[in-house]
A and B are shown apart, each in its own frame.
Chain A
Amino acid sequence: MTGLFARWHTLRRRGILGINHRNGAFVLPENPRRYYPRVDDKLITKRLADAAGIPAPRTLAVLSYHHELRKLPRLLDGLSDFVLKPARGAQGNGIIVVTGVERGRYRKSSGALLTLPHLRQHVSNTISGVFSLRGDWDSCLMESRVVLHPHFERLARYGIPDIRVIVYRGLPIMAMCRLPTEASDGRANLHQGAIGAGIDLATGGVTHATFRNRSVAHHVDTQAPIIGFDIPAWDEVLELAVRAGEISGLGYVGVDIVIDAARGPLLLELNARPGLGIQVANDRGLLPRLRRAEALPAAALSTWSERCKVARDLFAHAVG
């Protein structure tokens, strides 16, 4: 019991944000409900991103009705790699990544082969809302596949890593890189067993990493060192996070970014209730940073580059 109390005390002293505190003091007051569709529905997210000139994976097609399934063979004609994802999916469910076509069959990133009827069924399920948590009608997005940035080669064997940046009142507060593992089945989700690598906002370098809430220094599958890894195009990633936070309309938002080998950082999706595991990945609490951000005068944050600079100074790992 005293052990738990001591733990409580330490967490508090280190400014670790708990879920009750996050919901009560940040998510509920900072994120107006009316803007939730902007982050929950990828179609809306992408439309807003498009209008703001924020790069995102290219949309090849959107299928919203079952009768459109007839168009599928024509749409897929000539395509050899693409991604199918539900517009309102959660936790990466219902996403199929096709990396190639072999004799009329589609090869998934996991290696399995799918026939056209399989894909058709999957799109049909998506439209019926199988993957949308609320079970509503949904749309299926067909996007061009993001190509792994060569820099990540040794750290990402099972899927594309993404970068989660928490943006609070327009300022990037904390960031981590999520590396899919064999355990996470290629998904970049900490709950499902991805590695969380904390990023120093000042440098874009990884300083600390966790796997299933425990510290690791090397990738659990490839044994490649994670600590000291530098995120490519960090300046652009940071600016993209700031701009994406702005279009969300939310005061406390998680921005997920992938880095394409050719196009550079792309906005993947937004999250109105970003998880707290980012603190474990960084070995740092969110609260002190959130407090420092609150104390800033609004005038200091007029341009995107200014905000990035302030964030780098204020939230460098050397600071805390």
Chain B
Amino acid sequence: MRSWIALSATLVGAGAGLFLYKVLALEYPLSTAEETGTWRVEFTVSVTGQGGRAVVDIPLPKTSGYQRLLTEEVRSGLLRFSISEDDGGRRGRWSGKLEGSTTLSYEVTFDTLAYARRVPTRDPGGTYPKSVADYLSESPGVQTTDPAVAELSRELLLNGADKVKLARDVFQFVSREIGSLDSPAPMDAVTVIREGRGNGLGRARLFCALTRANGLPCRVVPGIGLATGRQDQLRYWNEVYLGGAWTPFDAVARRGETLPPDRLALAPGADADPVRASGTSALSYRFYVQSELETYAELVRRRLTDSQRFLDHISLLFLPVQLQHTLRILLLVPLGALAMCILRNVVGLKTFGMFMPMLIALALTGTGLFWGTLFLAIIIGVALLTRLAIQGLYLLLAARIGFVLTLVILLMVSLFVIGDRIGIPSTGIGAFPFVIMTMIVERISVSLEEEGVGNTLRRVGATLASIYLTYAVIHVDELQTLFLVFPEVLLVILGLLVAVGRYSGYRLIELVRFRELSVPPPQSRPPE
């Protein structure tokens, strides 16, 4: 008797169960926000050559604790590009004969990671490997042997006996006592001490000078802050060698030991300016940073590809991308159907045709909402007026429908031509369902006759509202991805459809219709 409840609950349970299993047991990520985000950064260098051999050298990112690289792309113009990698990191180099100006670019997409190192409670230091010990000596901008550095060291009571404490003390000092300065010019450590404030590079160099002077290997790391848009300055922070690993300290962001995933780290060791050039007369660089939201699906796909589990390999994410684009919309259609059922059975909205609004909403995808509505209004409006004009001819049904159909096609073709002429995006009309539009014209004219203008307009309004609602729903990016990654949600929709299908309460519209009945009956009635 209540078997529909069982069916509905089973379907919802199965869908939700599978979803939870994938999230909890198979550890599908739910969002890209928390520890990982996918970004695209374009590193553009504008350079002017002097006619001879020119070299441009930039720091590159690599897969590390900060980030996982996904794709890289280089535009070199007529120059040659090569990548070199050593202990410090990767660097890219363009070289060749250069005359006049050119634009070079390096583009990378990557997932950011939260960088965290477990720092030992104490580190007495000792001897370091050669590649690490290199970061103890003086270098351009980091004047470890300058008297000013030694004096500041003494003032701060810095002590190299415990490197962990040393690093924290220096971090405290540089992040709290040194003021900030917004200047694109490179600053060195001594200048920062003298001025009591410094830009990002200057403060990072001061950090280096103080730690190195007390026997702790330290390097400057350049990077790009992940804020969408154009930037033309690098960010700088430090890494010190604690407990056998490089540990980050960002005095500017006042974050030490763990760093949020808000940056792209480039090759460290930027004692000099990280972007170097020779044989050029002018050089400038900038970055374009963009968040890649849609690559959440790619992120999942990559995880699944690496997985050994069977269930991970039957994901829709392995289908061809073109097909996935179709599926993204297709999978949301049932959600639209559910919305329609609720609008009809719970609200009591009367539309032209049950799934007509859905089909139209799908068709509007190609043209966008504004133009789509305009084109739709033109086609249906003109066809309807003509249909009403030929009312008096009493054409037989099939001929009449055929007439309107031909009219609709004619209007579509006209809009193509006009759109092409005056440059409005009318090509999307090709996806308009002409049979559906014909039937809408027929239904509207019948409704005008049977139900009157008021009711017809109300119905047109309700139809438009459902078209827009459906359109809005199927174009929510997050929903598309959710359904693509977790298609089992369709089972939940099936279950909900069963439940809505058995909804026996009043439709909201009936509360209005039966308003006369909704006053309690009088206790005593006059004799009948």
Q: Taking beta carbons and an 8 Å cutoff, which residues of A are in contact with B?
A: 4, 6-8, 10-14, 16, 18-21, 24-25, 91, 93, 121, 124-125, 128-130, 135, 191-192, 200, 203, 205, 207, 210, 213-215, 276, 279-280, 283, 285, 317-318
Interface residue count on the B side (C-beta < 8 Å): 29
Q: Is the CB of B396 within 8 A of A21?
A: no
Decide if B507 is an interface residue (CB 8 Å cutoff). Answer: yes
Q: How far is the CB of A314 from chain B (nearest CB, A)?
A: 16
Decide if B182 is an interface residue (CB 8 Å cutoff). Answer: no
Q: Is the CB of B450 within 8 A of A14?
A: no
Out of B348, B451, B520, name the residue touching A191 (CB < 8 Å). B451
Which residues of B (509-524) have their CB < 8 Å from a CB of A?
510-511, 513-521
Q: Is the CB of A280 within 8 A of B514?
A: yes
- Please judge, given known A-B contacts A20-B504, A135-B397, A215-B516, whether A7 and B511 are in contact too, CB under 8 Å: yes
Q: Is the CB of A207 within 8 A of B506?
A: no
* Chain A residues within 8 Å of B398, by CB: 128
A-B contact pairs, 28 of them (CB 8 A): A4-B508, A4-B511, A7-B511, A7-B518, A8-B505, A14-B521, A16-B506, A16-B517, A18-B505, A18-B506, A19-B507, A19-B510, A20-B504, A20-B505, A21-B504, A21-B505, A24-B502, A24-B503, A124-B394, A124-B396, A128-B398, A129-B397, A192-B450, A205-B528, A213-B516, A215-B516, A279-B517, A280-B516
A8 to B507, CA, bound (A): 10
A21 to B503, CA, bound (A): 7
- Please judge, given known A-B contacts A21-B505, A125-B394, A203-B528, whether A16 and B514 are in contact too, CB under 8 Å: yes
Q: Is the CB of A11 within 8 A of B504?
A: no
Q: Is the CB of A8 within 8 A of B511?
A: yes
Q: Is the CB of B528 within 8 A of A8?
A: no
Q: How far is the CB of A114 from chain B (nearest CB, A)?
A: 13
Which residues of B (359-411) have their CB < 8 Å from a CB of A?
394, 396-398
* Chain B residues within 8 Å of A213, by CB: 513-516
Out of B348, B396, B514, name the residue touching A279 (CB < 8 Å). B514
* Chain B residues within 8 Å of A24, by CB: 501-504
Residue of B nearest to A92 (CB): B450
A207 to B515, CA, bound (A): 19
Tell which of B348, B394, B519 has the most Cβ of chain A within 10 Å. Answer: B394
Q: Is the CB of B516 within 8 A of A91?
A: no
Ranked nearest first, the 6 interchain pairs of A and B with the lowest CB-CB distance are A21-B504, A18-B506, A7-B518, A128-B396, A10-B518, A7-B511
Decide if B175 is an interface residue (CB 8 Å cutoff). Answer: no
* Chain B residues within 8 Å of A191, by CB: 451
Decide if B480 is an interface residue (CB 8 Å cutoff). Answer: no
Decide if B247 is an interface residue (CB 8 Å cutoff). Answer: no
* Chain B residues within 8 Å of A192, by CB: 450
Q: Is the CB of B517 within 8 A of A11?
A: yes
A91 to B396, CA, bound (A): 20
Out of A128, A135, A280, A317, name the residue touching B517 (CB < 8 Å). A280
Q: Is the CB of B528 within 8 A of A18?
A: no
Q: Is the CB of B506 within 8 A of A8?
A: yes
A207 to B519, CA, bound (A): 17
Known: A7-B511, A18-B510. 12 other contacts (CB 8 A): A4-B508, A14-B520, A16-B517, A18-B504, A18-B506, A20-B345, A21-B505, A24-B501, A25-B504, A279-B514, A283-B517, A285-B517
* Chain A residues within 8 Å of B518, by CB: 6-7, 10-11, 14
Q: How far is the CB of A240 from chain B (nearest CB, A)?
A: 23
- Please judge, given known A-B contacts A203-B528, A318-B528, whether A11 and B516 are in contact too, CB under 8 Å: no
Q: Is the CB of A11 within 8 A of B528?
A: no
A18 to B505, CA, bound (A): 7
Q: How far is the CB of A291 from chain B (nearest CB, A)?
A: 14
Total of A-B residue pairs, C-beta within 8 Å:
90
- Please judge, given known A-B contacts A16-B514, A128-B396, A215-B516, whether A11 and B506 are in contact too, CB under 8 Å: yes
Q: How far is the CB of A51 from chain B (nearest CB, A)?
A: 32
* Chain A residues within 8 Å of B510, by CB: 11, 18-19, 276
Q: Is the CB of B521 within 8 A of A210?
A: no
A214 to B505, CA, bound (A): 23
A188 to B506, CA, bound (A): 26
* Chain B residues within 8 Å of A215, by CB: 516
Q: Is the CB of A11 within 8 A of B397?
A: no
A25 to B508, CA, bound (A): 19
A195 to B501, CA, bound (A): 33
Q: Is the CB of A11 within 8 A of B507?
A: no
* Chain B residues within 8 Å of A128, by CB: 396-398
Residue of A nearest to B528 (CB): A207
Q: Is the CB of B450 within 8 A of A20?
A: no
Q: Is the CB of B505 within 8 A of A10?
A: no
Residue of A nearest to B449 (CB): A93
* Chain B residues within 8 Å of A11, by CB: 506, 510-511, 514, 517-518
* Chain A residues within 8 Å of B505, by CB: 8, 18, 20-21
Out of A13, A18, A93, A130, name the residue touching B450 (CB < 8 Å). A93
* Chain A residues within 8 Å of B394, by CB: 121, 124-125
* Chain B residues within 8 Å of A21, by CB: 504-505
Out of A7, A13, A91, A279, name the residue touching B515 (CB < 8 Å). A7
Q: How far is the CB of A278 from chain B (nearest CB, A)?
A: 11
A319 to B23, CA, bound (A): 59
Q: Is the CB of B528 within 8 A of A91?
A: no
* Chain B residues within 8 Å of A125, by CB: 394, 396
Tell which of A14, A207, A210 has the most Cβ of chain B within 10 Å. Answer: A14
Q: Per-residue 0/1 for B150-175: is the Cβ within 8 Å of any A Cβ (1 yes, 0 no)?
A: 00000000000000000000000000
A25 to B504, CA, bound (A): 8
Tell which of A191, A200, A203, A205 has the most Cβ of chain B within 10 Å. Answer: A191
A44 to B281, CA, bound (A): 97
* Chain B residues within 8 Å of A19, by CB: 348, 507, 510
* Chain B residues within 8 Å of A135, by CB: 397
Q: Per-residue 0/1 for B222-245: is the Cβ within 8 Å of any A Cβ (1 yes, 0 no)?
A: 000000000000000000000000
* Chain A residues within 8 Å of B397, by CB: 128-130, 135
Residue of A nearest to B442 (CB): A135
Q: How far is the CB of B88 from chain A (nearest CB, A)?
A: 66
- Please judge, given known A-B contacts A4-B511, A11-B511, A125-B394, whether A20 and B516 are in contact too, CB under 8 Å: no
